[in-house]
Amino acid sequence: FAIGVHGLKHDGKLFRTKEIFSERAPRINAYLEKWGTKGFTTPSMLRNHEWMLELNIDFCVSTFDTDPFEPVPEGVGTIFPFWVRSKTSDREFLELPYTLVQDFTLFVILSEKTNSLWKEKLDWIAQNGGMALLNTHPDYMNFDGQELLDEEYPVALYIEFLQYIKSAYAGKYFPAVPSEIAAYLKQA
């Protein structure tokens, strides 16, 4: 698993102004240091890569290739990780875009009953040599098989997707967490 800081608050204000960001950045950096991580994910996928260079991070998971259901619906248009580099210093971090729709969007907002969209997109990503990155939320998974609450989906959909990956792509993928991808690409 991976540990990363996910902002300070999920209030949508981190990138509202440079002043707010600069006020919160030192506290975010303090948590990064305290928790021994170099990873960051922005709340609600709101972001400003230029400002984020103030954070002491090696990698960030704060974009998506394409997802019209996010608060900022324009994606980065790529299924590959990319470097965000400062124009005035040697600071940089690796941005890893989500390439598979988030579980909450798929099963709660869109009310999908199967994981076929994940499988179809994964197959397309594999055919194009891209990175499959999925963000899941255990707090929306129903683990006990009981009646689903309003914002839950059966964990079996996630488990079955993992089984699909293992069987359809055995020996053909690099199962890594974001920190491992960042370290690997930094050496390349």
Task: State the pLDDT at residue 185.
Answer: 92
41 CA to centre of own chain: 7
Task: State the pLDDT at residue 7.
Answer: 80
Task: State the pLDDT at residue 1.
Answer: 67
* Separation of first and last alpha carbons in the chain: 23
Lookup: tokens for 2: 């991976």
**Residue corresponding to tokens 């996928």:** 45
Residue by residue, pLDDT tens for the chain (188 residues) are 677 888 888 888 888 999 999 999 999 999 999 999 999 988 888 889 999 999 999 999 988 998 777 777 778 999 999 999 999 999 999 999 999 999 999 999 999 999 999 999 999 999 999 999 998 888 899 999 889 888 999 999 999 999 999 999 999 999 999 999 999 999 98
What does the DSSP assignment read for the chain? ----B--S-SSS-TTT-HHHHHHHHHHHHHHHHHHT--EE--GGG---HHHHTTS--SEE---BS--TTSSS----S-SS-EEEE-SSSS-EEEE--B-S--HIIIIIIS--SSSHHHHHHHHHHHHTT--------GGGEE-S-SPPPTT-EEHHHHHHHHHHHHHHTTTS-----HHHHHHHHHH-
Task: State the pLDDT at residue 25.
Answer: 95
Lookup: tokens for 51: 């400002």
